[in-house]
Homo-oligomer: A and B are copies of this chain.
Amino acid sequence: MTVTVWKYPKRDEWKVIMARPQMDLISLSRTVSDILESVRCEGDDALRRYEKQFDRVVLDALQVTPAEMEEGIAAVPESLKKAIRQAIDNIRKFHASQAIEVKKVETTPGVWCWQKPVGIEKVGLYVPGGTAPLFSTVLMLAVPARLAGCHEIVMCTPPGKEGKIAPAILYAARETGIDRIFKLGGVQAIGAMAFGTESVPQVYKIFGPGNRYVMAAKQQVSVQGVAIDMPAGPSEVMIVADSGADVRFLAADFLSQAEHGADSQSILLTTDRRIADLFPAEIERQLDRLPRREWVEKSLSHSSVVLLERETDLADFVNAYAPEHLIVHRTDAEEWASAIVNAGSVFLGYYTPESAGDYASGTNHTLPTSGYAKSYSGVNLDSFTRKITFQQISSEGLKNLGPVIEKMAEAERLEAHKEAVTVRLQSIHS
């Protein structure tokens, strides 16, 4: 297993190198819509049926009980609890810094405008199950939700075969103030939060990663009235290295992305021939030490090293790809990164691994993949709020601005719009 190395590819070859592993959501479309429809019509009965079918567990109550919560939390080692609390502190600090203050602007004398951020009242968080308990996702979604002032925060996550939720997830949920946790995974979980059932409340926006069934379900409900955080695809990293980069760090970052799943993608960019030459052997060396070797190798099959000719090619390549994660192994990292306009999250310098942002530095790890960084932000405090605009106009203000409004409304042939101003101006003048 060797990583593909592209040496000095021409610009018209870039597209091929940048091709992402395809994710076919269309073929799932019917399966997903059938499950969603059953959940909508049958509620909890459908949820229990699908949990039995897909998660192989027979559930009575869907909601985690206080006793289960206590039992789970007691099972988390104190050292992990402490680490989780430190991560929460950092995530909270960074997301709290994103709060905006209300600024009232007098656009015309007597005409005041402002916007006020208000938390989305009901949000649903999806935390995937699978081979490991992804409690870090709980932190990344629940901390900003709580900061934003969302009133009701519910979470769905698939139970294990014994019908239980992983202790670390329960601890993370309690520490971040999640109101209710439901033992639900996959499409049925998304349907439950989108439509509401006897047990699960309907929410206004659904957040969180998942496999392609979950993504397809989120996409489908997003055109049926419920908002979603963003579309999503397989995770990816782009790494840029200068001649001072440590090949061991590069390989470790490259592999940590590959470990996410068989469809993950890692791309290393450099103009340094020595780095490109040394890199494949270092990957081999580190690969030997990893437990998920088979999985990682699949991911490596669509990963690559790209040796570029010009320094200026680097930022062009990054911006064209629009990576979810960008790690900049350069001495001039911050300055160089000022040219980056398309990326989800950027990690600057030799000592800033992606893992830091995945867990504990404070930034969010729910980020746009598949080139969506060209149009979407990652999850942040904004994602959990709406900005309502307000305006207040005094009679003096309407005297100043009214004629402009009347002129424009008239030109758009909206007579009643004009009249709403005229009737007031007449009253002021009379």
Contact = CB atoms under 8 A, between A and B. Distances in A.
Task: Report the copy number of this chain in the oligomer.
Answer: 2
Contact of A359 (B168, B398, B405): B405
Given A361-B107, A364-B389, A356 B405 contact: yes
A168 B413 CA distance: 12
A145 interface: no
Interface in A379-405: 380, 382, 385-395, 397-398, 401, 403-405
Interface string A210-247: 00000000010011011100010000000000000010
Nearest to A347: B391
B420 A355 contact: yes
Interface in A284-343: 286, 289-292, 296, 333-334, 337, 340-343
A360 interface: yes
A256 interface: yes
Contact of A105 (B87, B225, B358, B362): B362
B256 A404 contact: no
A183 interface: no
Contact of A348 (B94, B382, B392): B392
Contact of A87 (B131, B404, B421): B404
Interface stretch (A6-14, A96-104, A270-278): A96-104
B108 A359 contact: no
Contact of A333 (B115, B204, B357, B392): B392
A4 interface: no
A107 B258 CA distance: 28
Nearest to A89: B107
Interface of A: 79-80, 83-84, 86-87, 89-90, 93-94, 97-98, 100, 103, 105, 107-108, 111, 113, 115, 118-121, 131-136, 168, 204-205, 219, 222-223, 225-227, 231, 246, 248-249, 252-253, 255-256, 258-260, 286, 289-292, 296, 333-334, 337, 340-364, 368, 371-378, 380, 382, 385-395, 397-398, 401, 403-405, 407-409, 411-421, 423-424, 427-428
23 contacts: A80-B407, A84-B408, A86-B401, A86-B404, A135-B412, A205-B375, A219-B223, A222-B222, A223-B223, A227-B376, A248-B427, A249-B423, A249-B424, A259-B416, A291-B415, A296-B416, A347-B391, A349-B394, A355-B405, A363-B391, A368-B386, A374-B386, A380-B389
